[in-house]
Amino acid sequence: MSVSMRDLDPAFQGVGQKAGIELWRIENFKPVPVPQSSYGKFYTGDSYVILKTNALKSGALRHDIHCWLGNDTSQDEAGAAAIKTIELDAALGGRAVQYREVQGHETERFLSYFKPCIIPQSGGVASGFNHAKPVEHKTRMFVCQGKYMVHVKEVPFARSSLSHDDIFILDTAHKIFQFNGSNSSIQERAKALEVLQYIRDTYHDGKCDIATIEDGRLMSDAETGEFWGFLGGFAPLPRRTQTNGVLSTNTLPTKIFCVVKGQAELVDAEPLTRGLLDTNKCYILDCGVEIYVWLGRSTSLNERKAASGATEEYVRSQDRQKYHIICVIENFETVAFRSKFDSWPQSTAVTVSEDGRGKVAALLKRQGVNVKGLLKAAPTKEEPQPYIDCSGNLQVWRVNGQQKILLPVSDQSKFYTGDCYIYQYMYSGEDQEECLIGTWFGKQSIEEERISATSQANKMVESQKFLAAQLRVYEGREPMLFFAIFQSFMVLKGGLSDGYKKYILESELPYGTGIEEEVALFRVQGSGPENMQAIQLEPVASSLNSSYCYILHSGSSVFTWIGNLTTPEEQELVERQLDVIKPNMQSRLQKEGSESVEFWKMLGGKSEYPSQKTTTATESDPHLFSCTFSKGELKVTEIYNFNQDDLMTEDIYILDCHSSIFVWVGRQVDPKTRTQALVIAEKFLERDFLLEKLPLQTPLYIIMEASEPQFFTRFFTWDSTKSAMHGNSFQRKLSILKNGGRPTSNNKPKRRTPVSNGGRSGAVEQPQRSRSVTFSPDRVRVRGRSPAFVALASTFENPTVRHLSTPPPLETKIYPKSNGSDSSKPASRSTAIASLTATFEQPPRAKFIPRSIKVTSEPATKTETISNGDLKSSRIETPTIQKDAKEVETEDEEGLTLYPYECLTVSSTNPAPDINIFKRETYLSSAEFRAKFGMAKNAFYKLPKWKQNKLKMALYLF
């Protein structure tokens, strides 16, 4: 579309540059800006143009333009407003969605801008009216309709205006009454209370008594008698057969018209397909209550204005002026518009170039207008956050038929692709102990065990009185939160469950697990030590990818393969994972393009492999839907510009953020419907209401009211006291209203304690893993390490120790044999301690020994096993032995540039230039090296390579 400066109204120059609302009133056929203090105040004799700008997560700006027409506005003024809407879209680059709003029939999207409601006042400018000036209070009556957004209409102050179906507000000089029709819902009554509060704050300065009147209640109390007294006394209300103002659409078939020379010509099209729309033309799609205008990208501004005029003439000829008219631009069609077509290619809805907006920006820039916001904003690069305390207590069970087997600590992060797992994670929330119960389904797991896992997880949630949040995860679709809980996560080939083994046997497939594989290949991925995974793949060359790093091992041979497109941070994860997979073996580095013959031979020979990284769904702008589920059918209604007050305790809501689906269940929801929350989420994915084509394996969260975790409340401005209130939605909002706008809650949120899920025993099942809740960035947290090495790494925690010339005496844990079921674990810990502390056994030089500093070791964890449903536990005692470290003098290498420790760490904000990232420790001075490692450089390089890497990782030098 070509744009000329003379086609653009000067009032629209430089608009839409930041998120928010901008509003103009049409005066003498020109748009005049309305001051922000008057936003939401509309006059029945005027026409308005409203621009809503939204800043998306992608950095782009999305615009919605609304043309609001008062009931008393003139036809010429309404036509001018429609034309100005087209011009405003052109000024924004020609990609905004345009809505025509008629007083009393506004879209819910428009009403959401001015919550809780709009109440148009009499008066106008161009139509000859004068804006009404308030003199003294006039008694008025309003009818409120709507469960999500409230349509408010003034009705005659008479008893005949009342009905059983709606809610009415009687506004008198000293008291405001709300009359609740007997057929109205609790949610409608709660929303009407927001209107009542708006009237009290706007017209009574917040100083006015309120009263609620129930339909059918006789003169039983003073307030009811007072209400009927204003109306001349009580009388039965008549039953109405029709609801005024409702637009009927049942008898209107869908039609499509092509606009030719300003006239709408019917197009014979059955069925409707995307191919019918020509980029050089404009079309009218009549869908009943909604009439769409589709504008091709190649059409001119005058052609678009002609299409708008043809649409106005079309609705006028059919006496349907109150119906919604929505104008969409090619490639920027709404979901609702695309859903009207039988087929709409996914590739069509792509982002086009910034040419249109750039041309407009260039024109405005020559006029001296700041056009920064007209161009696409740079996306904010935010590191994904788990929004959960990662230091809680984790328990993991593997599903075997109808049973679940508790896993030991050493195996709770090792999953098999042929199995299903249940996990329970207890952690500290903002004001109570939180619990997350989840399931993980391997790609090759059988359906019977997936059903069993879901059933057992549901029983665990039920045992906690539905206070725990739920998460369902499929292999390959894990969210960031899942990896944050498990930290170092590994997926192995094969499976251990009886069901999987039976399936393999019946299918005559070779059985084996990742541990038993003669040749094993692991893809290493993640963003850091707190989030790293090793995924076992088929040991063939086609499994490689230039965007990843890999570990390949067979017998005594271990290779690490570095793809050319990987980052240094990703390469460092290989050594960390190698310490988990093959901790006692030295690996041979293979860089892409310079592999050895032995490497390719182990993979069965060279072959082609991809280079693009596997993409995962990223979080996008959230959409909130209210759900109605009956007889297996799901109906949803989108809530625009939502906030916490839109969550009604009687309903179920779905929050879709593209990468995950959240189901929020109110406490007043029917118990039978509450248990179907997961089914509702699955139906939502099947129906694809937003046409996102999300896979059915998308992560699903089930959130219960009053137990909302931070990873859900972050989408709102959240007040936990509101969700903790008792009563239905109407009772809660009435209590807040009478309490001066403050929530009231009799019960302070209680911290929940873990419950037993290990069998029939009533004994409390202790957590398998206990992690410190500190979040200090200086804390050394090494994943996938033995407890001995964690204790060793903790010596570097204290910042006062780091700059000493000699390390402090090391406190070492000794793990005696435990009488628990896993007797091999204490032995391995003792072995690890013995090997790790061997280098520190030489006597130190007394001359340099500082004062003795005690190092506090982590408390011993309890290990549980399940035997015949009973829980047995054994506490591992951890006596400590103080050892001294040896210091050996050595000289710095000649010609080597030295740097301070702070410039050499992997997370340094001022990194040293031109260094070998795999040899960071060599750039330390001798004194600082001894202070950090507790030994001289020559002693350090005599250690096995894997020991060197462990020590370097503890100091963030690897």
Decide which of 830 and 278 is more confident: 278
In the numeric block, the tokens 């009886």 are attached to: 498
26-40, 239-253, 380-394: which is most confident:
26-40
Dig out the tokens for 559 from the structure: 């290779």
Supply the pLDDT for residue 362. Answer: 52
Supply the pLDDT for residue 758. Answer: 41
Average of per-residue pLDDT across 632-660: 96
Picking from 97-111, 685-699, 900-914, which range would have the lowest pLDDT averaged per residue?
Answer: 900-914
DSSP for 411-445?
GTTEEETT-EEEEEEEEE-SSSEEEEEEEEE-TT-
Average of per-residue pLDDT across 426-444: 92
Assign 791 a pLDDT band (cuts: 50, 70, 90).
Answer: very low
Supply the pLDDT for residue 781. Answer: 34
Q: With 70 as the cut, is the pLDDT of residue 174 above it? A: yes
> Containing H/E element for 400?
strand 393-400
- Percentages (nearest 5) of helix, strand, coil residues in the chain: 25, 25, 50
Cα separation of 365 and 859, whole Å?
Answer: 65
Picking from 142-156, 187-201, 525-539, 797-811, which range would have the lowest pLDDT averaged per residue?
Answer: 797-811
Supply the pLDDT for residue 4. Answer: 57
Supply the pLDDT for residue 771. Answer: 41
DSSP bridge partners of 665: 652, 704
Collapsed DSSP state (helix, strand, coil) of residue 98: strand
Supply the pLDDT for residue 896. Answer: 81
Assign 892 a pLDDT band (cuts: 50, 70, 90).
Answer: low
What pLDDT, in 10s, does the model give residues 3-13? 555 667 889 98
DSSP for 32-64?
EEPPGGGTT--BTT-EEEEEEEEE-TTS-EEEE
Average of per-residue pLDDT across 396-424: 95
Cα separation of 62 and 426, whole Å?
Answer: 40
Supply the pLDDT for residue 5. Answer: 55
Average of per-residue pLDDT across 227-255: 72
Average of per-residue pLDDT across 668-681: 94
396-400, 514-518, 922-926: which is most confident:
396-400
Average of per-residue pLDDT across 798-812: 34
Assign 218 a pLDDT band (cuts: 50, 70, 90).
Answer: low
Supply the pLDDT for residue 279. Answer: 95
Cα separation of 436 and 703, whole Å?
Answer: 10
In the numeric block, the tokens 């690897």 are attached to: 958
Collapsed DSSP state (helix, strand, coil) of residue 292: strand
Supply the pLDDT for residue 8. Answer: 78
Decide which of 371 and 689 is more confident: 689
Q: Contact at 8 Å (CB) between 310 and 301?
A: no
End-to-end CA distance of the chain: 55
Task: Indicate the average pLDDT of the chain.
Answer: 80
Q: With 50 as the cut, is the pLDDT of residue 873 above it? A: no
Q: How far is CA 415 from CA 234, 443, 495, 603, in A?
A: 70, 11, 9, 24
Q: With 90 as the cut, is the pLDDT of residue 23 above it? A: yes
Q: With 50 as the cut, is the pLDDT of residue 530 above it? A: yes
Cα separation of 87 and 63, whole Å?
Answer: 13
What pLDDT, in 10s, does the model give residues 728-785? 999 999 999 988 767 765 554 444 444 444 433 333 344 444 443 333 333 333 334 4
Cα angle 467, 470, 474 (rounded to 5 degrees) comes to 175
Cα separation of 122 and 814, whole Å?
Answer: 84
Decide which of 683 and 744 is more confident: 683
Nearest CA among 304, 300, 320 for reference residue 312: 320
Picking from 17-26, 198-207, 365-374, which range would have the lowest pLDDT averaged per residue?
Answer: 365-374
Q: With 80 as the cut, is the pLDDT of residue 118 above it? A: yes
Average of per-residue pLDDT across 45-68: 94
What pLDDT, in 10s, does the model give residues 468-523? 999 999 999 999 999 999 988 999 999 999 999 999 998 887 776 666 668 999 99
The single-letter DSSP state of residue 43 is B
Decide which of 782 and 852 is more confident: 782
In the numeric block, the tokens 């010509």 are attached to: 265
Average of per-residue pLDDT across 117-133: 71
Average of per-residue pLDDT across 90-110: 94
The strands making up 420-428's β-sheet, listed across from edge to edge, are: 403-406, 393-400, 420-428, 433-441, 469-474, 700-704, 661-665, 652-656, 623-630, 633-639
Rg of the chain on CA atoms, in Å: 34
Supply the pLDDT for residue 772. Answer: 34
What pLDDT, in 10s, does the model give residues 348-381? 444 444 445 555 555 445 445 454 544 444 444 4
Average of per-residue pLDDT across 28-43: 94
Q: How far is CA 586 from CA 516, 583, 906, in A?
A: 20, 8, 22
Supply the pLDDT for residue 265. Answer: 93
The single-letter DSSP state of residue 562 is E
Q: With 70 as the cut, is the pLDDT of residue 844 above it? A: no
Pairing state between β 700-704 and 469-474: antiparallel
Supply the pLDDT for residue 724. Answer: 87
